[in-house]
């Protein structure tokens, strides 16, 4: 068996998570190999929505404008009750600035994957091998079957982005923990030509009728979802009932009979129909030796908040800067032990919220459904209208943040510069950053090792944010999460001490002490 090696990172799988990770690695200058089983991109849609944080990650790898061109905003969601009348309406908040990214973005996954793969062509340090099926891992090296022969791949670190049935996870012997949700749903992707046929007197708002909102049909006879995709793409999802067979519900008569309640079935091209088991699962270990689990290989989330793919891309963004610090000799490998302790509580919180939402949608008992509908309608009346879609993504509470003053995401500021209005993210340039009320000299050894960037908060949006935090500085990580905020030089020096310790930075003093 031939061997190839001398890679910093080997990425197994090139779906959206693996492709995003490879772009991040390419941008960081890491020598990377991507091993993908398929010869061609998977042509069927799966994920359908992502949030503004993910668009900021796409911006960080220089692909946001291209990706934004093939997305459109999702304005909100309307829930219908057992009587098929509205019981709850969520509206996505409008971005604070016209240049800011929308909080919820619809997309067609084959288009997204194509753009992410195209982005890899920019990096001479990223090698892509398609048609390579990973068969196992031994002694930290990958074995895979290629088009012509079996090969072994050696890399300093391995990133398993190979999905829910991860070969890498199985090879490492990592079990999954069941959080307690499992339902069978049929997912039907279609291309439509013609108007929707809405039932009369259902009070369905115009936002749903014109395709700006998704529709959750909380009907105990058959819970269902309608999601308006981009262009002609529409997705129907149907909860399957006890006794229904997978092979029965994917037949043309079954599909057209159910879709025909909403649109002329002759105006619909069925792209795919597949039965999924929506589950809530967490891998017990996300790191084994030099291998890391990301995305569905590490966790599986019910889709009710549209966060499955988002989780995996966050994994990649929050792991890659850690790997880059270690690989360039700036930090000890102990830094990588913080990956799961930081990400798992974050993912678990969103899974719990998704499970709770799914439990409401999936009620099959008519009496329980009526009680739910009454409670939701009463809450809607008390609010006197629709509620804003809240961000289900919590701040970081455990991991590489100051628990008292950090953990939140840096707001997406659009600031005024002499050359025009720009996203602050672009100025940060994927580095640690110090946002500060007035420029000062920072002579901390940890800051020198990090090669961080200092930005004076002269823009009123940025200075106002610091003022609301009673702070005159903020330390920001490369993934746009705030490590700490505070006021005054002594507090800043103390925060840099904590940051250096938590990152296991290899400063001259720490290296000398270890000798």
Q: What is the pLDDT of residue 201?
A: 57
Beta strands 268-283 and 126-130: pairing type?
unpaired
Q: What is the CA angle 172-176-177, rounded to 5?
A: 145
d(CA 164, CA 172): 14
Is the pLDDT score of 372 beyond 60? Answer: yes
Q: What is the mean pLDDT of residues 98-110?
A: 93
pLDDT at 381 over 50: yes
What is residue 386's predicted lDDT score, i.e. its pLDDT? 60
CB 452 within 8 A of CB 476: no
Whether 7 contacts 31, CB under 8 Å? yes
Is residue 484 situated within a structural domain?
yes
pLDDT at 208: 83
What is the rounded average pLDDT of the residues 308-329?
98
Write down how long the chain is: 515
Residue 515: predicted pLDDT? 47
Residue 129 sits in a domain of what CATH number? Answer: 3.50.50.60
Average confidence (pLDDT) over 227-238 = 95
Same-domain status, 147 and 39 = yes
Reduced to 3 states (helix: H, G, I; strand: E, B; else coil), residue 284 is coil
Rounded-to-integer distance, Cα 160 and Cα 13, Å: 7
Query: Span 123-132, mean pLDDT?
Result: 98
Instruction: Give the pLDDT of residue 206.
Output: 81
Co-location of 25 and 125 in the same domain: yes
Which helix (H) or strand (E) segment holds residue 72: the answer is strand 72-73
* pLDDT tens digits along 31-80: 999 999 998 888 888 999 999 999 999 999 999 999 999 999 999 999 99
Which structural domain range is residue 302 located in? 2-71+106-176+282-352
- Note the pLDDT of residue 173: 97
Residue 245 lies in a domain: no
In this structure, are 137 and 63 located in the same domain?
yes
**Residue 274 placed within a domain:** no
In 114-149, beta strands by DSSP E:
126-130, 133-138, 141-145
Residue 314 and residue 477: Cα distance in Å, rounded? 13
Neighbouring C-beta atoms of residue 135, cutoff 10 Å: 12
Same domain flag for 162 and 55: yes
Looking at residue 44, what is its pLDDT? 83
Q: What angle do CA 358, 359, 361 make, to 5 degrees?
A: 60
Q: Is residue 151 domain-shared with residue 296, that is, in the same domain?
A: yes
**Same domain, residue pair 134 and 15:** yes
11 DSSP β-pair partners: 34, 159
- What are the pLDDT digits (tens) for 173-203? 999 999 999 999 999 999 999 888 776 656 6
- Token pair in block for residue 465: 């944010």
Average pLDDT rounded to a whole number, residues 209-228: 93
Same domain, 20 and 161: yes
Whether residues 168 and 286 share a domain: the answer is yes
Task: Flag whether pLDDT at 275 surpasses 60.
Answer: yes
From 352, 370, 397, the end of a domain falls on: 352
Domain contains 254: no
Q: What is the structure's pLDDT at 236?
A: 96
- Does 384 score more than 80 pLDDT? no
Question: Pairing relation of β-strands 387-388 and 473-476?
Answer: unpaired
CB neighbour class for 453 (10 Å; exposed up to 12, middle 13-18, buried from 19): middle
Give domain status of residue 43, yes or no.
yes
215 vs 309: CA distance, rounded Å: 21
Mean pLDDT of the chain: 93
Interatomic CA distance for residues 323 and 432, integer angstroms: 14
* Structure tokens, 272: 């795919």
Distance CA(507)–CA(6), nearest Å, equals 26
Q: Is the pLDDT of residue 502 over 50?
A: yes
Task: Give the number of other Cβ atoms within 10 Å of residue 382's Cβ.
Answer: 7
Is 252 within a domain? Answer: no
Per DSSP, helices labelled H in 364-421 are 366-383
- Alpha-carbon distance 515 to 513, whole Å? 6
DSSP 8-state assignment for residue 67: H
Say how many domains are in the chain: 2
Give a yes or no: residue 508 inside a domain. Answer: yes
Cα 369 to its chain centre, rounded Å, is 31
pLDDT tens by residue, 411-466: 999 988 778 888 999 999 899 999 999 878 899 999 999 999 999 998 999 999 99
Q: What is the CATH number of the domain that holds 455?
A: 3.40.30
**Which of these three, 352, 373, 404, is where a domain ends?**
352
325 and 453 inside one domain: no
End of a domain among 335, 352, 369?
352
State whether 157 and 303 are in the same domain: yes
């Amino acid at each position: 068996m031939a061997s190839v090696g001398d890679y910093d990172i080997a990425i197994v799988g090139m779906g959206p998570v693996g492709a995003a990770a490879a772009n991040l690695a390419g941008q960081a200058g890491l020598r990377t190999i991507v091993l993908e089983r398929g010869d061609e991109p998977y042509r069927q849609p799966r994920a359908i929505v992502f949030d503004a944080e993910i668009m900021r990650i796409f911006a960080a790898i220089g692909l946001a404008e291209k990706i934004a061109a093939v997305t459109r905003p999702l304005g909100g969601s309307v829930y219908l009750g057992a009587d098929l009348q509205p019981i709850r309406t969520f509206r996505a908040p409008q971005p604070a600035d016209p240049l800011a990214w929308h909080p919820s973005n619809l997309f067609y996954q084959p288009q997204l994957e194509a753009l992410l793969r195209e982005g890899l062509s920019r990096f001479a340090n990223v090698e892509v091998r398609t048609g390579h099926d990973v068969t196992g891992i031994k002694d930290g090296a990958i074995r895979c079957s290629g088009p012509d022969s079996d090969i072994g791949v050696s890399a300093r670190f391995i990133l398993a982005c190979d999905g829910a049935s991860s070969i890498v996870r199985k090879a490492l012997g990592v079990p999954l923990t069941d959080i307690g949700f499992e339902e069978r749903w049929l997912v039907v992707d279609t291309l439509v030509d013609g108007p929707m046929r809405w039932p009369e007197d259902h009070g369905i708002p115009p936002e749903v009728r014109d395709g700006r909102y998704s529709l959750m049909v909380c009907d105990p006879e058959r819970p269902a979802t309608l999601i308006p995709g981009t262009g002609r793409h529409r997705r129907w999802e149907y909860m399957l009932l006890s006794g229904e067979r997978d092979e029965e519900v994917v037949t043309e008569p079954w599909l057209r009979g159910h879709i025909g309640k909403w649109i002329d079935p002759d105006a619909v091209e069925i792209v795919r129909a597949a039965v999924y088991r929506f589950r809530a699962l967490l891998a017990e270990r996300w790191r084994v030796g030099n291998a890391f689990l990301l995305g569905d290989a590490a966790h599986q989330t019910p889709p009710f908040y549209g966060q499955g793919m988002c989780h995996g891309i966050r994994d990649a963004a929050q792991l890659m800067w850690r790997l880059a610090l270690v690989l360039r000799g700036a930090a000890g490998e102990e830094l990588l032990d913080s990956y799961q302790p930081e990400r798992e509580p974050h993912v678990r919180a969103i899974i719990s919220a998704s499970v709770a939402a799914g439990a409401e949608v999936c009620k099959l008992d008519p009496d329980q459904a009526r009680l739910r509908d009454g409670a939701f309608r009463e809450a809607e009346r008390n609010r006197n209208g629709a509620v804003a879609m809240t961000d289900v993504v919590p701040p970081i509470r455990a991991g590489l943040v100051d628990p008292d003053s950090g953990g939140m995401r840096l707001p997406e500021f659009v600031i005024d510069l002499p050359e025009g209005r720009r996203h602050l993210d672009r100025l940060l340039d994927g580095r640690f950053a110090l946002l500060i009320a007035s420029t000062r000299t920072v002579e901390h050894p940890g800051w020198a090792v990090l090669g961080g960037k200092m930005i004076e908060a002269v823009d009123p949006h940025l200075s106002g944010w610091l003022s609301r935090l009673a702070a005159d500085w903020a330390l920001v990580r490369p993934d746009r999460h705030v490590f700490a905020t505070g006021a005054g030089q002594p507090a800043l020096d103390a925060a840099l001490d904590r940051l250096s310790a938590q990152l296991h930075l290899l400063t001259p003093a720490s290296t000398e002490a270890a000798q």
